[in-house]
Structure 1
């Protein structure tokens, strides 16, 4: 049996953990927030398709990751804003994500990368702002970790912590942010009930 390099194992593990955490978050949030559950489910599907080499082409996998970023992440933030009465920000985030999803073919690879990073950072900052004003600790951590994932994706370095690929470290931060955000949604719902 040929052993796989450490970076390949790291990539597989980061995809699996992101898919598992996102699936758990989707199942646990479906009763209180269908929009957030759909966003978590999009993250799950994107992470799984990146692991299945025979399932689809690399271009299809990247398209799935694009949709999970520009539609899935705004869906996550939508409920957080909506429950707090900020309906205009919720609709603006979701509408902007839908427009970007449609316009993705016209942006090119560099434009899609910049737009995806911008969506990640905007969602992170808006979640962080709402969490600070509502004193939701999990929301603060979730927003901070999503922001870390967005900032790390902007780095030029190919390898980061312990010589892991930058994309894997971003996925680990996204996983931590998704877990914290799922807890934040539950905390927020308990506060409003």
Structure 2
């Protein structure tokens, strides 16, 4: 009885994870002097993106939970900084508190509930950062919001209509959005100095 050959490495997924991790890590380093919260959000995203690339680091079950934490805590940390710098302390605290509550409740939501909650967090963060960016004339923030929103919408589409697999397309959009947010944070800090 012949065994089926082992599937080869998935280069498309590995490349999208690697690029998202590298962009997020670069954004974390660049934003750390000005904002520790945003740097932590970028770092969580980088760690979640690269957990599947390191052999022996975690099991398949660990990586979705890492991505869940990066989504419900990491992304609200980015929105937190945008709101905080603009003086909207209540929205900043509400966003971060909701993310923390979702991180704790994630175990009780089930796979479909986690998926819906993660997409909701992604879209809420994208919209709130885009709104702040529009009112402060921060072009990078608007682009970052659009790209993050696109990642959220791509995650709901069927793979048949996409040139890439859905997960890869989402990671590419998140990488571009992270780069734009890093630039937006820098622009925002320069405006307030």
Same fold by TM-score greater than 0.5: yes
Taking a change above 3 Å as real, the CA distance of residues 21 and 99 of structure 1, as seen in their structure-2 partners, is same
Residue-by-residue CA offset, 1:122-176 (whole Å, 9 max, x unaligned):
0000000000000000000000000000011111335612xx2110000000000
Structure 2 counterpart of 1:82: 84
- Structure 1: where are the runs of 5+ without partners? none
Counterpart-to-counterpart distance in 1, 2:160 and 2:85: 39
Query: Are 2:187 and 1:187 aligned?
Result: yes
Higher helix content, 1 or 2: 1
- Structure 2: where are the runs of 5+ without partners? 1-5
TM-score by length of 1: 0.94
Taking a change above 3 Å as real, the CA distance of residues 55 and 14 of structure 1, as seen in their structure-2 partners, is same
Structure 2 counterpart of 1:52: 54
TM-score by length of 2: 0.94
Give the conservation status (yes or no) of the 8 Å contact 2:158–2:166: no
Q: Which moved more, 1:177-186 or 1:42-51?
A: 42-51
What is the CA-CA distance between 1:54 and the residue it aligns to? Answer: 2.0
The alignment covers a number of residue pairs equal to 188
Counterpart-to-counterpart distance in 2, 1:174 and 1:122: 15
Runs of 4+ in 1 over 3 A off after TM superposition: 2-5
Structure 2 counterpart of 1:63: 65
Choose 1 or 2 for highest CA Rg.
Answer: 2
Counterpart-to-counterpart distance in 2, 1:63 and 1:100: 12
